[in-house]
Amino acid sequence: MSARRTPTGARAGWAWCALLALGLSACDDLSMRLQKRYEVYGRAALFPDGAEARTPPDGAVAVGALAREAALREAPPVDAALMRRGRQRYEAICTPCHGYSGHGDGMIVRRGFPAPPSFHEERLRAAPAGYVVSVITRGYGAMYPYAARVEPRDRWAIAAYIRALQLAQGARLAEIPGLAERLP
C-alpha cells in the first residue's frame, strides 16, 4: 500500500496561508494614538500645580520666528535686481486678481470673481510699503494670506514693484528722468 500524499501545490498553499497569518499577527498599530498621554486640560501628578499643559518660559521664541519677523521688518534696499524680481513675482502671483497695471482687473475678475481694490486708489497710494507686505503676509478681505507661498524678500520686491506701478500711473513724460535722451 502507498501512503497518501498531499499534492505539492496544496502544501505550498498551506505554507503561504501560515506565513500570511504569521505576518498579520505580527503587525501592530504603530500610530501614536494608543500611547499613554495626558488628556487635554487634564490633571497631571508630575507637576506641582497639577496642570498637564506647560506655559512657555518668559522670552521663549518659536523656532524660526526671529528670522521671519526680522525679514518682515527690514526692507531690503530697492535696486534694479529687486525691481526685476518684484515684477516677475507680481506677474506670476498677483496679476490673476490685480491685473498687469494694478487696477484690479485681472483674469479672475473677468470671470465673475469680486474685484480687488485698485492699487491706484488714494488710500493705497498713501500706504507705506510695509502695509503692502503685511497684506501679502496676512491677507485682507477675500485675499488669503501668502506667507507660506511668498518669501519675505519677495514680498518686499512685490511691494516695491507695486509702488513703481503707482508712480508710473500718475507720471507725466516730463517727470521721467532720462526719457528725452532715449526717445528718437
Reported as a single tens digit per residue, the pLDDT across 113-161 is: 999 999 999 999 999 999 999 999 999 999 999 999 999 999 999 999 9
Which of 112, 114, 115, 162 is CA-nearest to residue 134? Answer: 162
Global confidence as pTM = 0.61
Which of 99, 71, 98 is CA-nearest to residue 157? Answer: 71
Domains and CATH numbers, the chain: 78-171 (1.10.760.10)
